[in-house]
């Protein structure tokens, strides 16, 4: 099982949206379904236990996806249980370093958009406080990441399978 955590600031806009979109793609892939656990968290505690932002939920609903998301904060225990942590932007990586230490972050955290070879810029802009178009743009940028991420997950699952064989 590969454990994947999506990380943003408050865990109400970008990371739960990304987690839901990526989870749907993983579940639709017969080689990955049941082998990848996708979750999300934020570096801040300001929205803990809140639901997803209405605009992110609207995007998911328009795609036939639902989630019972409740925001949570990244903790050392949560980070330790993950194989890969994908941060929405570089400020999330800096905040994770303060919470977890630089060595832990260097081993597990990378930027989400690094999986999109055609991405212009590395950060997934925070749509919070902006009109619905900003949320739509974030969803498109997440969609563009999915093929590269799925390819990486295929490699990880293959490596795990190889390691488990005698």
Catalytic residue ranges:
8, 14, 126
Compute the distance between CA of residue 104 and CA of residue 93 in angstroms, rounded to an integer: 11
Residue with tokens 């949320």: 135
Comparing C-alpha atoms, which of 128, 124, 126, 127 is closest to residue 143? Answer: 124
Compute the distance between CA of residue 148 and CA of residue 118 in angstroms, rounded to an integer: 10
Compute the distance between CA of residue 68 and CA of residue 141 in angstroms, rounded to an integer: 23
Residue with tokens 């236990």: 49
**What is the biggest distance separating any 2 CA atoms in the chain, rounded to whole angstroms?**
54
């Amino acid at each position: 099982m590969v454990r994947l955590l999506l990380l943003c600031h408050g865990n109400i806009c970008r990371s739960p949206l990304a987690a839901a979109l990526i989870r749907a793609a993983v579940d639709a892939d017969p080689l990955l379904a049941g082998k990848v656990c996708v979750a999300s968290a934020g570096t801040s505690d300001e929205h803990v236990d809140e639901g997803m932002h209405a605009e992110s939920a609207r995007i998911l609903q328009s795609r036939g996806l639902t989630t019972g998301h409740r925001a949570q904060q990244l903790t050392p225990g949560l980070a330790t249980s993950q194989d890969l942590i994908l941060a929405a932007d570089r400020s999330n990586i800096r905040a994770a370093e303060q919470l977890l230490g630089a060595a832990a972050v260097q081993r597990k955290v990378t930027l989400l958009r690094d999986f999109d070879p055609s991405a212009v810029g590395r950060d997934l802009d925070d749509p919070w406080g902006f009109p619905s178009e900003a949320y739509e743009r974030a969803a498109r940028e997440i969609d563009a990441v999915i093929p590269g991420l799925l390819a990486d997950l295929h490699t990880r699952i293959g490596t795990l399978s190889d390691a488990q064989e005698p």
